[in-house]
Amino acid sequence: MKFFAMIATSMVAMFFLMYLNSYQIIDHFWFSETRLFMTMIMGGAMIIIMLLYMLNMYKDKNKNIITLIFGVLLIGAAIGLVRSQVTVSDVDYMEGMIPHHSIAILTSDRSQIKDVRVRELADEIIEAQRREIMEMQWLIHDIRKNGIAATQEEKERRPVPEFEGSTGKETIETAGVPSEIKSDQKAGEVMYNPPKPEDAPDQIRDVVLLGHKIVTETKKNLPDYVGNELTCHNCHFEGGITQGGKNGSISYVGVAAKYPKYRDRQDFSVDLMTRVNNCLMRSLNGKPLPPESKEMTAILTYFHWISKGIPIYADIPWLGLKPLKSGHQPDNTKGKILFAENCARCHGDNGQGGMKQKNIKSESHGNGHDENGPPLWGSKSFTHGAGMARLENLASFVYYNMPRHEPDLTEEQAWDIAAYVTAQPRPEFEKDDKPW
């Protein structure tokens, strides 16, 4: 009897000891039937070998023969079970594979690999095993909860999420995140969800609010830097917190994640500060803000705050003006007539602006004040060097945003009007030789 107690204890001990070479002993300790069978085989072998060595201790011949037969049967049965895997269900199978994968990770990770190519291969193995372990853990959980998916339809209803393995060299946060989530961002599916300026944390709140004030009432806050009658808000509506498109003008949401950015105007990368000064000098016919000024810092802090949560260099679908279909030959004369019909009531017959208009759709604009159409040309408007002075930019801006609150022009009409407006006199921009 004592003999069997000894064998049983050794078997239990061996069963657990077998897991010691798994990578994460606790996480990857899944009950493995295969390992149980292997333990049985070893137990059987131990029975036979130990008994034969200790024959002089156990004198009862019959008992010894029965014990030996039991040992042989145990080995036979376990071999049968382990090779046929008849008792191994889906979940059992995966539970057995997890420790197995885990060993592969351990050896691939800790072996003294010096060859760069072997290292790469080992890293690939680690990544694949990690991914498969995550997949198996997910599947075990799903099968325990919902049963197995036996049919193709069932499979489609309960698809396995795509997991990404890692070599353990990435950050903990990204490892094990289903790649669906990550690839969304890669594909540019960024969410439009800008925080409100007033929700900024205490330390930057005042600065963010100052930045917001500057871009909505530019001249009032930067009297020495603005040279015309425009504000940033005239082209970047709602302080730039918009999703672009119809009535959305030119958004600022996410610009902090977009710069520094290549621009053909400079044929180099420009940072956000330079970009802001570009609009200040060209669109507002003004002077550049000094980099260290509070006002510049405030504008940039505001841009950063409303870009919160957007990954650096993500594709941001709402930024920039969307190009219109080209191919239409813009007609200046038609544009003049269309301007008188559609624009003059707010922007004046001579594009000088200042025509007060009752804001009919006050709820959509949110302030209900009378709105001045700002100047479109002449000394109080943007310069020849402004982005808005480019025919294709003006056409797109007008098509999507004008008449204010109810843009209803066709693309052709927008091209014609833009041709007319860009042909009018406006301040020169002489700071460099490029017209824009």
* Residue ranges that bind ligand HEC, judged by CB under 6 A: 215, 218, 230, 232-237, 250, 252, 255, 258, 275-276, 279-280, 283-284, 299, 319-321, 342-343, 345-347, 357, 371, 373-376, 381-382, 386-388, 393-394, 397-398, 402-404, 409, 417, 421
Comparing CB distances to ligand HEC, the nearer of 15 and 399 is 399
Shortest CB 384 distance to ligand HEC, Å: 12
Comparing CB distances to ligand HEC, the nearer of 167 and 342 is 342
Comparing CB distances to ligand HEC, the nearer of 205 and 275 is 275
In angstroms, rounded to a whole number, what is the distance separating the alpha carbons of residues 57 and 59? 6
Shortest CB 186 distance to ligand HEC, Å: 20
Shortest CB 363 distance to ligand HEC, Å: 15
Comparing CB distances to ligand HEC, the nearer of 30 and 400 is 400
In angstroms, rounded to a whole number, what is the distance separating the alpha carbons of residues 311 and 193? 13
Helix (H) / strand (E) element for 129: namely helix 116-146
Of the candidates 392, 385, 379, 383, the residue with the CA atom closest to the CA atom of residue 418: 392
In angstroms, rounded to a whole number, what is the distance separating the alpha carbons of residues 34 and 267? 65
In angstroms, rounded to a whole number, what is the distance separating the alpha carbons of residues 218 and 239? 11
Of the candidates 19, 166, 21, the residue with the CA atom closest to the CA atom of residue 107: 21
Of the candidates 81, 10, 5, 78, the residue with the CA atom closest to the CA atom of residue 41: 78
Shortest CB 99 distance to ligand HEC, Å: 52
Q: Give, rounded to a whole angstrom, the gap between the first and last alpha carbons of the chain.
A: 97
Distances (CA, A) of 338 to 83, 245, 332, 342, 402: 85, 22, 10, 6, 12
Shortest CB 140 distance to ligand HEC, Å: 47
Comparing CB distances to ligand HEC, the nearer of 78 and 394 is 394
Comparing CB distances to ligand HEC, the nearer of 129 and 285 is 285
The DSSP symbol for 397 reads H
Shortest CB 208 distance to ligand HEC, Å: 14
In angstroms, rounded to a whole number, what is the distance separating the alpha carbons of residues 70 and 63? 10
Radius of gyration of the chain (CA): 37
CB of 163 within 8 A of CB of 179?
A: yes
In angstroms, rounded to a whole number, what is the distance separating the alpha carbons of residues 220 and 284? 13
- Looking at the DSSP assignment, which residues form a beta bridge with residue 195? none
Comparing CB distances to ligand HEC, the nearer of 178 and 348 is 348
Comparing CB distances to ligand HEC, the nearer of 208 and 394 is 394
Shortest CB 295 distance to ligand HEC, Å: 10
Shortest CB 355 distance to ligand HEC, Å: 8
Comparing CB distances to ligand HEC, the nearer of 157 and 356 is 356
Shortest CB 327 distance to ligand HEC, Å: 20
- Contacts for 101 with CB less than 8 Å, ≥ 6 apart: 28, 129, 132, 133, 136
* Length, in residues, of the chain: 436
